[in-house]
Amino acid sequence: MTITWVPIIFVDVAGAFLMIVFSILSIRHAWRLIRKDPENLVWTYLLWLAVGLAGFAISRSAGHILKQVLFVSGYDPVWEHIRPVSGSLNTMLLIVVAAVTLFFNRAWHIYQGVFAERKALQGTQSELMRLNETLENRVQERTAALLIHEKRMAQTDRLASIGQLSSGIAHELNNPLGVIQGYTQLLLRGEEPASQKHQDLQVILKHARNCKTIVDDLLNFARHSKPEKTEINIHDVIDDVLIFIKHRGKMEKIRIETRFDENVVPMSMDDKKIKQVLINLLMNARHAVGEDGAIVISTAYEPEVRQIKVSVADNGYGIDAKNLVRIFDPFFTTKSTGEGTGLGLAVSYGIIKNHGGEIQVSSKPGKGAVFTVILPVNPAKDTLMAS
Amino acid sequence: MISKDKLKLIVTACFITLLATSSPAIATQPHGDPEGVVIHQFSHVFFIFSMGILIYWLRNRELDRQPGWREIKYSAFFLILWSAVAFVAHLLDEQLAWVITSRVDSFTMLVETTRGGPVLAWFYYIAKLDHLLCVPGLFFLYRGLARLSDFEEKKVEGGGA
Ligand SMILES: Nc1ncnc2c1ncn2[C@@H]1O[C@H](COP(=O)(O)OP(=O)(O)OP(=O)(O)O)[C@@H](O)[C@H]1O
Ligand SMILES: [Mg+2]
C-alpha cells in the first residue's frame, strides 16, 4: 500500500526531540540526588540509568532526526553511511542500561547484607553502651541505698542508746513520783477543800501527774514490751482516730482526705497503741498546716512483702533537712514550751518498732511532710522466724 | 554539568571513529549485516528482561507505592512496551523481510508485504510510531527522578531544621 510518511516523520522528529529533553532533565534530577548522598547505591544506579538512557536517546534521536531530514531532502543514500554507526551505538547503550540494571539488582543484595551487618554492629554497640550505663546506674543506686541504710542504722543505734538512758531515768523517777503522788493524795484528805493548802496540794498533784505521763511516754519509747494484739482492720482504726480528732476541734478548716486501698487485709496489732501513733502524726500534721490546710491519709497493701503502708501527708511547713535525723529523738521539738514536749514521734517510733514495723519520713521544707508507717501483716510469725 | 559535556564528547568521538572505519553500505540495500541486526535484537530482549527485573525489584521492596518510585515503575513499563514493539518492527523488516518499504516521493511511501497482507502493513505502519511509547517512558523517568529529588531535598531541609 502507498501511504503518507507525514505522521511517521512528525512523530519521529517531535518524539526524538522530547526524548532528548526528558533524558537530560532526568540526568539533572539524578545528579541532584547523588549530590545529596554520594554513597547511596540506589542514587548511583538511577544516575547510571538516566545517563545510559540519555545517551541512547541522543544517539537514536539525533539519528532519527538526521534520517528524516535526509529523506525529505532526498539525500537518503547518505543515511546508509550513518545508519550502522547510529544503530550500533543504540545497541551498545541499550545493553549498557540493561547490564547496569541487572548489576544493580545483584549489588543491592550485597549492599543489603553489608547494611544489615553494619546495623547489627551498631545495635550491639549501643546495647553494650546501654548495659554499661545501667551498670553505672545500678552501682550508683546501690551506693545510695547503702548510704541510706547506714544512716538508718546509725539512727537506730542512737535511738537505742537514748532509749536505754531514758528508760533508766524514767525507772528511777517512777518510784519517787509514785511516792509524791501518794503522799499528796494523803495530805489532801486532811485539808478543807476550799483552803489555800488544798489548792496548793492540787497543783503539786497535777504536776506530778504530768511528770508521770512523761515518764510513761519515755518508758513506752524504750520498753520492748509485747503489744496486746487483736486482729483488726487498719481502716477501722483510722476511722476511730478521725472521729476522735474531729471532736477535739480546731480542725474545721483543715481538709482531711482518706484514700483507702480496698485490698488491705485485717492484721493483728495493738490498736490502742496504733491509735496513739496515728493521733501523734495527725496532731503534728495539724500543727504543721496551721489553720487552713490539707491532710491526706492513705493506705496501701503490698502482697509480695505482706506489708501495709499507712501514710499521713500534709502540706504544712515541712521539716528542715538538718532536723530530719533528729525528729524521732525524745524531747526534740521545734515548738515552744507548752506547745510540745518532743515525745510524740519518739513514742510513735517505739510503738511501731515493737510491732516489728518501721516509720519513715520525707519532707520538702515549705511544701509539707509525709510520714509513712510500714507494718508487717504477720509480725508474730515473722518475729518467730527471726528468733 | 560536567557529565553532559563528557557524554557529548564521548558520543561525538564514537561517531567520528565509527564513521571513519565503516565501509559504505550499498545504497539500495536496507539491511545491515545480519550480525548487526541480530545483536540489536538481542539488546532489545536483554533490555526488556532487565526492565522486568527492575519492576520486580520495585514491587518486591514495595517501593512502587511511594511517589517517585511509582513513576519509575511506569517508565520501565513503557520502555518494555516500546522495546517489544521495536523488536517486532525490526523482525518484520530487517530479519524476516515480510515487510519492505520504499520511498515514493518526499511525503509518500510504499509498504509492501510478502505475507500477512494489508493488516500486517498497517500493523507495521503503527509499530513505526514507536516514539509514542518511548517518549512516555522517558517522561515518567524524568517525573520520578524529579519527585525523588524533591522529596530528598525536603527531607534534608526538614532534618537540618
Ligand atoms: N508533719 C510535720 N510537719 C512539720 N514538722 C513536723 C511534722 N511532724 C513533726 N515535725 C517536727 O518534728 C518535731 C518532733 O515532733 P514530735 O511529735 O516528736 O514532737 P512535738 O510535736 O514537737 O511535741 P509533742 O510531744 O507534743 O508531739 C516537731 O517539733 C516538728 O518540728
Ligand atoms: Mg507531736
- Is 80 exceeded by the pLDDT of residue B70? yes
| pLDDT reading at B143 higher than 50 | yes
Percent of chain A past pLDDT 70, that is, above it, reads 96
Tell me which residue in B7, B25, B141 faces A22 most closely, judged by beta carbons: B141
Chain-chain contact of B135 with A89 (C-beta, under 8 angstroms): no
**Whole-prediction pTM value?**
0.49
Q: What is the CATH number of domain A225-387?
A: 3.30.565.10
Q: What's the rounded Cα separation, in Å, for the pair A164 and A217?
A: 14
Q: How many Å lie between the centroid of ligand 2 and the Cα of residue A281?
A: 7
Report the C-alpha gap between A356 and A274 in whole angstroms: 12
Q: How confident is the model at residue B13 (pLDDT cuts 50, 70, 90)?
A: low
- Tell me, using a 6 A CB cutoff, whether residue A71 lines ligand 1: no
Asked whether the beta carbons of B77 and A124 are under 8 A apart, the reply is no
CA of B144: how far to CAs of A33, B17, B54, in Å?
Answer: 12, 35, 14
Which atom from ligand 1 is nearest to the alpha carbon of A312? Answer: 1
Per-residue pLDDT band for A66 (boundaries 50, 70, 90) equals confident
Best of B15, B79, B130, B131 to substitute, by most chain A Cβ atoms within 10 angstroms, is B131
What ipTM did this prediction achieve? 0.75
Q: Which residue's C-alpha comes closest to atom 26 of ligand 1? A: A340
A15 Cβ closer than 6 Å to some ligand 1 atom: no
| 3-state SS assignment for residue B104 | coil
One-character DSSP codes across A250-307: S-TTSEEEEE--TTPPPEEE-HHHHHHHHHHHHHHHHHHHTTS-EEEEEEEEETTTTE
- Confidence at A148, pLDDT banded by 50, 70, 90: confident
The answer, yes or no, to whether residue A8 has pLDDT greater than 90, is no
Give the per-residue pLDDT at A72.
Answer: 74
Q: Tell me, what DSSP letter sits at residue A226?
A: P
Which atom of ligand 1 is the closest one to the Cα of A288?
3
A311 lines ligand 1 (CB under 6 A): no
Condensed to tens digits (0 to 9), the pLDDT of residues A177-191 reads 999 999 999 999 988
Closest to B82 in 3D by CA, of B43, B141, B132: B132
Do the Cβ atoms of A37 and B152 come closer than 8 Å?
A: yes
Among A12-16, A136-140, A201-205, A371-375, which stretch is predicted with the lowest mean pLDDT?
Answer: A12-16
Domain spans, chain B? 32-157
Give kind and range of the element (H or E) at residue A190.
Answer: none
Average pLDDT over residues B4-24: 50
Ligand 1 atom closest to residue A333's alpha carbon, by position in its atom list: 29
Interface contacts A/B by beta carbons within 8 Å: 176
How far is Cα A237 from Cα A272, in angstroms, rounded to an integer? 9
pLDDT range class, residue A74, cuts 50, 70, 90: confident
Please name the residue whose Cα sits nearest to atom 12 of ligand 1.
A327
Ligand 1 close to Cβ of residue A327 (< 6 A): yes
pLDDT of residue B22: 38
In testing the pocket of ligand 1, which one of A254, A276, A284 has its CB within 8 Å of the most ligand atoms? A284
